[in-house]
Amino acid sequence: MNSYFSEITTLLTEAGSAAKEPVGQASTQLADRIAKGGIIHLFGSGHSQLLAQEGFFRAGSLACVQPISIGPLMLHEGALLSSENEKDPDFSKTFLTSLDIRPEDVVIIISNSGRNPVPIDVAQYSNSQGSYTVSIQSLLYTEKEHPSRHSSGKRLEASVSTVLDTKVPPGDGIMHIDGIQCGPASSVIGNALLHGLFCEVVVRMNENGIEPPVFKSGNIEGNESHNNALVAHYSDRIQF
């Protein structure tokens, strides 16, 4: 256990250091778009979908967050089915045009490998709607060794405005024990990058004299009215 903690701490430091510039760029965009009434959509499939849920309706996170939850891409409807659908070049046709993505919005796409058709389709569709797109992915999955499965030939990093690189090794595990790769890291690093970005958005909005829409803990007395006001403000766009 101590070895995993040591390795994940090292990777967190490395990914955090590399993310300073892209997080700075993205946080400025997010702060401006939230101030103009935009919201943040989070998309992922399989285990990446867990990060899409992570930023939604939680204490200390931005209130203007809407996960894109497509049942057949989520683990609870079948892990094998989710993996199969993410690789299906036609699957996104079943839901893309139903998404309420607007020019003032932000779409964050989480995909560790960045090679499968559905996350790339979501990125490209979001671009076509005029929104600002961000990916959370590992750039150690390279075009040479892990080519795109998308019909355009583009990988995710070529389909978004800003990339937050998790630096997670291919295969996800950061431990090697008797020849076995284990200790997945993409969720830990991705989660840290997501909330690190949101914290920088709070900084930017404060600097601009705008109160950031951040939920407070519902388990602390006196916070209910604050949270209810945020829910009421965003309920026309977000399904709380």
29-44 pLDDT tens trace:
999 999 999 999 999 9
**Number of C-beta neighbours around residue 186 at 10 A:** 23
Residue 222 CA neighbour count, 13 Å, CB half: 0
Beta-bridge mates of residue 42: 67, 108
CA distance 92 to 185: 27
Q: Tell me which DSSP letter residue 62 carries.
A: B
State both tokens at 25.
């760029």
CA distance 103 to 70: 22
- Which amino acid, one-letter code, is at 179? G
Burial 221-240, CB ≥16 within 10 A → b, else e? eeeeeebeebeeebeeebee
2-8+40-196 adopts what CATH topology?
A: Rossmann fold (3.40.50)
Dmax (CA) for the chain in angstroms is 55
CA distance 57 to 62: 8
Residue 229, Cα to own-chain centre: how many angstroms?
25
| Residues 67, 53 contacting (CB under 8 angstroms) | yes
| Residues 101, 129 contacting (CB under 8 angstroms) | yes
CA distance 66 to 46: 17
Beta-bridge mates of residue 173: 184
CA distance 100 to 113: 26
Sort strands 106-110 and 132-137 into parallel, antiparallel or unpaired: parallel
State both tokens at 226.
């604050």
What confidence tens digit (pLDDT) does each residue in 128-143 have? Answer: 999 999 999 999 999 9
Per-residue pLDDT of the chain (240 residues; tens, 9 = 90+): 689 999 999 999 999 999 999 999 999 999 999 999 999 999 999 999 999 999 999 999 999 999 999 999 999 999 999 999 999 999 999 999 999 999 999 999 999 999 999 999 999 999 999 999 999 999 999 999 999 999 999 999 999 999 999 999 999 999 999 999 999 999 999 999 999 999 999 999 999 999 999 999 999 999 999 999 999 999 999 999
Q: Say what the pLDDT of residue 87 is.
A: 96
Q: Say what the pLDDT of residue 2 is.
A: 81
CA distance 10 to 5: 9
Query: Could you state, in order of their start, the residue ranges of all structural domains in the chain?
Result: 2-8+40-196
